[in-house]
Amino acid sequence: MELKVFESPGKEWDEFASQFTDLIFYQSVWSQVLKEGLGGQPLYFCLKDGGEIVAGLPGVLLNFGFFKILYASIPYGNLIGNELYFSPFMELLNGEFRKEGVDQVRIAESPFLKFQPVDSFKSISAKCTLLDLRGFNKERIWEGYRSGVRRAILKAQKHGLSIRRATARDEIEIFYQLYLSSMERNRAMAKYPLRWFDALYEILIRQKKADILFAVKGVDQYAAGVLLIYSATSNHYLHNGSKEAYLENRPNDLIVDYIIQKGVEEGKATLDFMGSDPNDLSLLRFKEKWGSQSKDVFTYVKDYHPFRCKIWELCKRMGSSRLGNRLIKIIRI
């Protein structure tokens, strides 16, 4: 057995990964998004036996100068392949992580795949919300909604809101401003830079593997937006953003209704609302009111240099504070 590392995964990796999952986050095209959008170095680890890949771990190494963190991956990762090889694979990976000078490794569980907890890694819980689109009757989707959901959609329509796809490059900036507005309103750190959304547009949206859907009023009043990623059998609600002034008009409800209608029409199995903080009950209620189910998912974390990791966690807490958000906004400008 030998460990191989692909910095630019291609056909060999894709053929292996497709045996275990159809999620786009495990395909080589996603490594391009991570590289261009976050400035990270894709590292796709493979265990080979007899010349064939028997186990794999997709990842991206983010180097912040004083701190190197390996995400496996963003938003989902974890081990794929023959489970009988996972134990020796992890032993080899530990050595490779130390060789790469990685300070911390974070393995993100996918709600679509069975995952075995990794020894010596601590776990951090989150909620992932999935809507089974196969439970909808194509001709009776509206009747299947709760009365409160129907009222919200009708309210959005009454106020003149409609759905529009992003078709021009300059609409990426518009969506980014909606994203920043939501992050500031929720007092959350805006983790993703503009270049991330640029990469999603150039690499995925142009290839019709993703869309930005806006709720708009008239020609140029953008109330809210969602960045939707397409896998073969599922759609992923990756990012959203909105203007506070329009929230009372329920633009987000209008977008989700469109996404559900479109997903059912195309024969998709699942709408993935992605992860949430377990304590963010209002967000979970919004995701679950469509008939979705939330489940526990875990990120498995191992600190290879504990002191540096403590400094890193302190920096993250500062960045999530109101003062930290102001500083980030100044730096961004």
Tell me: do 134 and 279 sit in the same domain: yes
Question: What pLDDT digit, counting tens, does each position of 28-67 carry?
Answer: 999 999 999 999 999 999 999 999 999 999 999 999 988 9
Query: Does position 238 have pLDDT exceeding 70, yes or no?
Result: yes
Tell me: do 253 and 134 sit in the same domain: yes
Supply the range of the domain harboring residue 171: 129-291
Tell me: do 97 and 177 sit in the same domain: no
Q: Are 13 and 28 spatial neighbours (Cβ–Cβ below 8 Å)?
A: yes
CATH number of domain containing 245:
3.40.630.30
Tell me: do 249 and 174 sit in the same domain: yes
Tell me: do 280 and 303 sit in the same domain: no
The reported pLDDT for the residue numbered 319 is 64
Tell me: do 286 and 251 sit in the same domain: yes
Which CA distances in Å does 33 have to 178, 293, 310?
Answer: 21, 29, 29
Question: What pLDDT digit, counting tens, does each position of 316-330 carry?
Answer: 777 655 544 443 443
Torsion (CA) 89, 27, 275, 185 in degrees, nearest 10: 130
Tell me: do 136 and 255 sit in the same domain: yes
Tell me: do 185 and 203 sit in the same domain: yes
Tell me: do 158 and 267 sit in the same domain: yes
pTM of the model: 0.92
DSSP state of 188: -
Tell me: do 270 and 219 sit in the same domain: yes
How many structural domains comprise the chain?
A: 2
Tell me: do 160 and 87 sit in the same domain: no
313 pLDDT band, cuts 50/70/90, is confident
Tell me: do 161 and 280 sit in the same domain: yes
Domain boundary among 291, 307, 323: 291
Burial degree of 239 (CB within 10 A; 0-12, 13-18, 19+): buried
